[in-house]
Structure 1
Amino acid sequence: MSSTEETLDQPLLRVTNLAKSYGGNAACRDVSFDLWPGEILAVVGESGSGKTTLLKCISAQLACDDGRIEYLMRDGILRDIHGLSEAERRFLMRTDWGFVHQNPRDGLRMRVSAGANIAERMIAVGGRNYGKIRGTAENWMDQVELDPGRVDHQPGTFSGGMQQRLQIARNLVTHPRLVFMDEPTGGLDVSVQARLLDLLRSLVSKLQLSAVLVTHDLAVARLLSHRIMVMQGGEVIETGLTDQVLDDPQHPYSQMLVSSILPV
């Protein structure tokens, strides 16, 4: 997969020397990378490698101990996300960013309808016309292969795979520029995973999304990402174009991952 051509000369996301520890144990050490508009970066590694901590830090869910995380705002200025006000960060999370959790129940409001889950983000960006909001919600349900006739059903009445598709619709309805994905196909049956992956690949291409994808599944990384970053013990030990790293890994740990099945 080749990266989308862009005219912008600045990265969408810039991470510099990020570090995070828990009780003296380093979860991330000196992590740096740029993510460009239209690019999908996969972060892979075994459990405990630091990839989930990294994702939580760069999505402002967790404060880092050191380093900078800069995001290209719509005014064309790279700003440190930890220098933003709490209100500015919350607005980013509701509009310009999306976060797809491994467990869709973590990313959905289970006591309101499917349509209300999608509508919530539309209202956050100023949507007020009930008819238009409902119509957009139904349209997005159709785009993620859910029956629009179930717009008034609560998420608990959907299967796990359907809940994940609903979570994706909820995130993408505001056309975010950056989406964070934490094991988006984890815990699903193989046939459901394949269908969801096809849907994600189609939406990523159609919407020209940028994304940081955390996964232990190298097949998912190969299918969705342009570049791959391998983590071990909180450090980035190899990075490069996805096909290059997976077809010709240079670091012994990367070679081990490619030649074996990653533990979840």
Structure 2
Amino acid sequence: MSAGATCGPLLCVRGLTKRYGHRIGCADVAFDLDPGEVLAIVGESGSGKSTLLSLIARDLAPDAGTVRYRLRDGTLADLAALSEAERRHLMRTDWGFIRQDAAQGLRMGVSAGGNVGERLMGVGARHYGRIRSTAAEWLGKVEIAADRIDDPPKAFSGGMRQRLQIARNLVTGPRLVLMDEPTSGLDVSVQARLLDLIRRLVAELGLAVVIVTHDLAVARLLSHRMIVMRGGRVIESGLTDQVLDDPAEPYTQLLVASVLAA
């Protein structure tokens, strides 16, 4: 099988569960994600959506359940069975993680170009000129001016930091990107610009995405399918437009109604 070939789902999540004492963080969550598909996980604060994302990324160890990912050779690998070195390599190459607070996903004391170039170096790039050229190219793709390549992220606005974090994550050509509230806390106009950029890059690169958001408008704009969570459990799932236009569960109906009433 050739590199990049896939047969079946890219990501398979089965029975993911995480408890904190008597409190349920996440309970028996299961779904598949196909190559190029965007899945939104929505729910109120405390619903378990960010816990689920952390379990998928192995930032948290589950109490039960599995996360399996289809490698480029077609093998469906259990992430828990990978060595730490294998998992880190996967996260640097085939996965990206856009965090809500860009400062957590960037090296704040390193230049914009260095942030992008560092990820390239992590996969073996060593030619300084080519690294800098590729970093400049990616800054342009996320609408950051070339003359800002030597500026540190701390000199950037919130929206620019998020765009830089996107460039840092996408420069190695990942197939799966996790996004945790990527537009939260930004001004409305900045949010709109960032969402347009994300939607364009996702389509151009054929990315599979799992995006956590409390904003149903973001979910509708970006995702093909949606999971609605409450109390750590999935209470409804389906095609995004179907769930939002004709929600079956009373909780989902309340979520949609609260947006319409706002």
Q: Residue type of the partner of 2:242?
A: Q
Q: Tell me the CA shift for residue 63 of structure 1.
A: 0.4
The alpha-carbon deviation at position 60 of structure 1 amounts to 1.1
TM value normalised by structure 2: 0.96
Cα displacement (A) at 1:261:
3.8
TM-score normalised by length of structure 1:
0.95
The structure 2 residue matched to 1:116, chosen from 103, 114, 118, is: 114
Q: 198, 215, 218: which one pairs with 2:216?
A: 218
Indicate the RMSD between aligned Cα atoms, in angstroms: 1.1
Structure 1 residues 159-215: Cα deviation after superposition (integer angstroms, max 9, x where no partner): 110000000000000010000000000000000000000000000000000010000
Name the residue aligned to 2:194. 196
Q: How many residues align?
A: 256
Q: Give the match for residue 94 of structure 1.
A: 92
- Deviation above 2 Å: which 4+ runs of structure 1? none
Take 1:104 and 1:189, find their aligned partners in 2: how far apart are those partners? 15
Alignment-mate amino acid for residue 213 of structure 2? T
Q: Deviations over 1:86-117 (max 9, x none)?
A: 11111111111000011101100001100000
Give, in whole Å, the separation in 1 of the partners of 2:254 and 2:94.
37
Q: Is the 8 A contact 2:14 2:66 kept in 1?
A: yes
Partner of 1:30: 28
- Which AA in structure 1 matches 2:215? D
Unaligned runs of 5+ in 2: none
Deviation at 1:39, TM superposition (A): 0.2
Counterpart pick for 2:15 among 6, 17, 24: 17
- The 2-side partners of 1:248 and 1:62 are apart by 34
Structure 1's unaligned 5+ residue stretches are 1-6
Matched, 1:176 2:180: no
Using the TM superposition, give the Cα deviation of residue 24 of structure 1 relative to its aligned residue in structure 2, in angstroms: 2.2
Identity %: 64
The offset of 1:8, in angstroms, is 4.2
2:109 and 2:43 mapped to 1: Cα distance?
A: 35
Pairwise CA distance, 1:23? 1.8
Q: How far apart, in 2, do the equivalents of 1:63 and 1:123 lie? A: 28
